[in-house]
């Protein structure tokens, strides 16, 4: 590992790897930092070396692309720091991480933030029960552990991951008791031209849909999870119809199924904590998944030396992430004076054209993943919104009634978002509820970004020390 990188890349998913390769091409001393043990990010998450797949399927062709990117990164000679969690970034771009050797930090000249996305789950009664897990979370189990989320699984929510996960469960020998999709078949048909722009991609919804139907998996379009209840070690899941806006319909015809797990998700949210911590200018774009940084065409954020790429700048998928990462790397090389504007334009031009194409696909995918507004209307008073702190919708409403005017004031008054998930699980839902009152997500605001970016163990951070090693400031006045 190097001590003095010129450019530090936060995140070793496709966006971070893209940036690293471009920087290596132009001789820039770069360092890629990721909390994982290898590159790949969420989409190309590898299995631990010590695992040997025994024929249980992962998620297919992605494994090859992941292996290819890891090889390219290794061959590029770019320095890597895996197993390091970045927990603080200062406006002087000092980046602090915690890893196996304790705390460490770097002071690069530039920073590429490629932090990816976080899953969104819109709450419903029972979403906090054991056995209920996220849809994207299930891909982690499948990819990195070759593990099924359950033997008898209900898959629900929206977006392409529905079919990817259901398909992998069936291939792995599990049973999909039902697949409940908020979208209707028409929605998929309309999205198809853009999705087909990327044949061979993981998210080949149509083909899977057909395969699942052939296997006899009940495909319930325009359906949602009404509620989950514990039943012995398993679950009782009731599913019901919704209209095009996700509002409940025909409750009398709800169906209740037994399963040992419920896999449910409603799209992805860009992870922007690091950018917000640095005060980068942000704007709300529902179609891109939420708050995103304002970037120029070359992936520069609103402050010098700060670049961003990938799903953390708007959910557009793995292919777009890699391309945008490469452009970010080229731009950092340009700003360091390693290449001139002409070289930058020649190299970035073709990437940008391919990126535009990838984004067309990405946008279609994002639209499919966006939760319809009616889902929030269906959230009843007793439903837990913030699972870390057990804050219900009724408590959120109460705080709004007593004058809380934005998400941060609401947080102070209810503890919503103060738990160990640091508001990642509830933030979007809460903001959506606040927006019902304030009129817009922009007015509802976003959590103020706080250090540490993830919870940190005190012992690991404090390390081994004596009293004399504590750098005590001068005493307060008497």
Ligand X SMILES: Cc1cc2nc3c(=O)[nH]c(=O)nc-3n(C[C@H](O)[C@H](O)[C@H](O)COP(=O)(O)OP(=O)(O)OC[C@H]3O[C@@H](n4cnc5c(N)ncnc54)[C@H](O)[C@@H]3O)c2cc1C
Is residue 12 at the binding interface for ligand X, with CB under 6 A as the rule? yes
Check: CB of residue 271 under 8 Å from CB of residue 120.
no
Contacting ligand X (CB under 6 A), which of 78, 182, 225, 321? 321
Cis check for the bond before 238: say yes or no (omega within 30 of 0). no
Q: Which two tokens stand for residue 184?
A: 């209707």
Binders of ligand X among residues 267 to 296 (CB under 6 A) are 268
Residue 17, Cβ density class (10 Å: 0-12 exposed, 13-18 middle, ≥19 buried): buried
CB atoms within 10 A of CB 142: 23
* Total number of residues that touch other proteins (CB under 8 A): 45
From other proteins, ligand X, none, interface partner of 409 (C-beta below 5 to 8 A by class): other proteins
- Sole binder of other proteins in the list 251, 350, 420, 439 (CB under 8 A): 420
If one asks whether residue 323 binds ligand X (CB under 6 A), the answer comes out as: no
- What track of x and - describes contact with other proteins for positions 51 through 90 (by CB under 8 A)? -------------------------------------x-x
Question: Please, what is the angle between helix 185-196 and helix 341-369, to 10°?
Answer: 160
Answer yes or no whether residue 304 interacts with other proteins by CB under 8 A.
no
Contact residue for ligand X among 7, 20, 22, 34 (CB under 6 A): 34
Q: Answer yes or no whether residue 440 interacts with other proteins by CB under 8 A.
A: no
Shorter beta-carbon distance to other proteins: residue 91 or 256: 91
- 46 is a site residue for ligand X (CB under 6 A): no
Q: Token match 């990126």: residue?
A: 355
Minimal distance, residue 222 CB to ligand X, in Å: 24
Q: How far is the CB of 102 from ligand X (least distance, A)?
A: 15
283, 272 Cβ separation under 8 angstroms: no
Q: Which stretch binds ligand X (CB under 6 A): 223-231, 316-324, 404-412, 426-434?
A: 316-324
d(CA 278, CA 227): 40
Contacts of 466 (CB under 8 A, 6+ apart): none
**Nearest of 35, 115, 118 to residue 81 by alpha carbon:** 35
Closest contact distance (angstroms) between CB of 445 and other proteins is 12
Among positions 7, 8, 9, 15, the unique one binding ligand X when judged by CB under 6 A: 15
CA 281 to the chain's CA centroid: 20
Which of ligand X, other proteins, none does residue 138 bind (CB under 5 to 8 Å by kind)?
A: none
What number of chain residues touch ligand X (CB under 6 A)? 38
3-state secondary structure of 82: strand
CB neighbours (10 Å) of residue 8? 24
Assigned token pair, 390: 């057990």
CB of 91 to other proteins, least distance (A): 6
Q: Is 419 in the site for ligand X (CB under 6 A)?
A: no
Q: Tell me the C-alpha to C-alpha distance, in Å, between residue 338 and each of 9, 26, 210.
A: 17, 7, 51
Out of 36, 270, 419, 445, the residue judged to bind other proteins by CB under 8 A: 419
C-beta closer to other proteins: residue 219 or 410: 410
Check binding of 179 to ligand X (CB under 6 A). no
CA atoms within 13 A on the CB side of 82: 13
98 vs 88: CA distance, rounded Å? 10
Q: Rule CB under 8 A: is residue 27 a binding residue for other proteins? A: no
Residue 405 tokens read as 């005017």
Minimum CB separation from ligand X for residue 276, in Å? 13
96 binds ligand X (CB under 6 A): no
**Concatenated DSSP letters for 241-275?**
EB-TTS-B--GGG-EEEEESEEEEEE-EEE--HHH
Rule CB under 6 A: say whether 427 interacts with ligand X: no
Residue 35 vs 76, nearer CB to ligand X? 35
How many Å is the maximal CA-CA distance in the chain? 79
Q: Which is nearer to ligand X, 311 or 395 (CB)?
A: 311
* Residue 472 interacts with which of ligand X, other proteins, none, CB < 5 to 8 Å by class: other proteins
Using alpha carbons, list the distances in angstroms from residue 335 to 9, 154, 316, 330, 380.
15, 50, 26, 9, 52
Residue 43 touches which of other proteins, ligand X, none (Cβ within 5-8 Å per kind): ligand X
311 contact choice in ligand X, other proteins, none (CB below 5 to 8 Å, kind-dependent): ligand X
Do 18 and 329 meet the contact criterion of CB atoms below 8 Å apart?
yes
Decide if 167 contacts 60 (C-beta within 8 A). Answer: no
Q: CA angle 151-152-158, nearest 5°? A: 115
402: partner contacted, choices ligand X, other proteins, none (Cβ within 5-8 A by kind) = other proteins
Span 377-406, contacts to other proteins by CB under 8 A: 399, 402-403, 405
Q: How far apart are CA 469 and CA 237, in angstroms?
A: 55
- Segment 68-87, which members bind ligand X (CB under 6 A)? 85-86
Which residues make Cβ contacts (< 8 Å) with residue 406, sequence separation at least 6?
A: 434, 438, 443, 444, 445
Q: By the criterion CB under 6 A, which residues form the site for ligand X?
A: 10-16, 33-36, 41-43, 59, 85-86, 114-119, 136-137, 139-140, 202-203, 268, 310-312, 317-318, 321, 453-454
Contact set with other proteins (CB under 8 A) = 88, 90-91, 94, 96, 103, 105, 277, 279, 399, 402-403, 405, 409, 412-413, 415, 418-420, 422, 448, 450-452, 455-459, 461-463, 465, 467, 469-478
């Amino acid at each position: 590992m190097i001590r003095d990188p010129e450019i530090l890349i936060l995140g070793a998913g496709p966006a971070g790897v893209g940036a690293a390769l471009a920087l290596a091409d132009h001789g820039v001393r770069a360092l890629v930092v990721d909390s994982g043990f290898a590159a790949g990010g969420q989409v190309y998450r590898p299995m631990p070396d010590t695992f040997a797949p025994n024929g249980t399927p992962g998620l297919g062709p992605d494994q090859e692309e992941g292996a290819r990117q890891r090889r390219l990164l290794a061959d590029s000679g770019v320095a890597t720091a895996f197993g390091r969690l970045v927990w603080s970034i200062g406006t002087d771009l000092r980046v602090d991480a915690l890893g196996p050797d304790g705390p460490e930090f770097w002071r690069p000249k530039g920073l590429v933030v490629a932090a990816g996305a976080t899953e969104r789950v819109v709450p419903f009664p029972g979403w906090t029960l054991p056995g209920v897990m996220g849809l994207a979370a299930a891909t982690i189990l499948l990819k990195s552990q070759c593990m099924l989320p359950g033997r008898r699984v209900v898959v629900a929510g929206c977006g392409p991951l529905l079919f990817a996960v259901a398909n992998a469960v069936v291939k792995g020998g599990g049973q999909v008791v039902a697949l409940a999709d908020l979208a209707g078949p028409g929605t998929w048909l309309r999205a198809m031209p853009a999705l087909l722009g990327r044949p061979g991609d993981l998210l080949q919804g149509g083909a899977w849909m057909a395969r699942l139907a052939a296997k006899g998996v009940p495909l319930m379009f325009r359906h949602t999870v009404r509620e989950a209840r514990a039943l012995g070690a398993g679950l009782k899941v009731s599913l019901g119809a919704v209209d095009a806006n996700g509002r409940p319909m025909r409750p009398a015809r709800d169906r209740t199924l037994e399963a040992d797990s419920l896999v449910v998700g409603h799209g992805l949210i860009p992870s922007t904590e690091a950018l917000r911590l640095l005060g980068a200018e942000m704007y709300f774009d529902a179609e891109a998944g939420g708050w995103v940084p304002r970037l120029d065409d070359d992936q520069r954020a609103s402050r010098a030396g700060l670049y961003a790429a990938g799903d953390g700048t708007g959910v557009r998928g793995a292919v777009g992430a890699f391309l945008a990462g490469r452009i970010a790397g080229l731009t950092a090389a340009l700003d360091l004076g390693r290449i001139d504007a002409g070289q930058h334009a020649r190299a970035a031009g073709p990437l940008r054209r391919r990126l535009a194409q990838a984004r067309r696909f990405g946008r279609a995918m994002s639209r499919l993943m966006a939760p319809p507004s009616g889902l929030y209307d269906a959230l009843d008073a007793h439903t837990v919104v913030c699972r870390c702190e057990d804050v219900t919708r009724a408590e959120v409403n109460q705080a709004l009634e007593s004058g809380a005017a934005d998400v941060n004031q609401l947080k102070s008054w209810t503890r919503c978002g103060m738990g160990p998930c640091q508001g990642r699980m509830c933030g979007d839902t809460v903001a959506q509820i606040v927006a019902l009152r304030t009129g817009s997500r922009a007015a509802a605001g976003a959590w103020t970004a706080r250090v540490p970016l993830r919870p940190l163990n005190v012992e690991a951070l404090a390390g081994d020390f004596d009293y004399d090693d504590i750098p005590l400031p001068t005493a307060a006045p008497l």
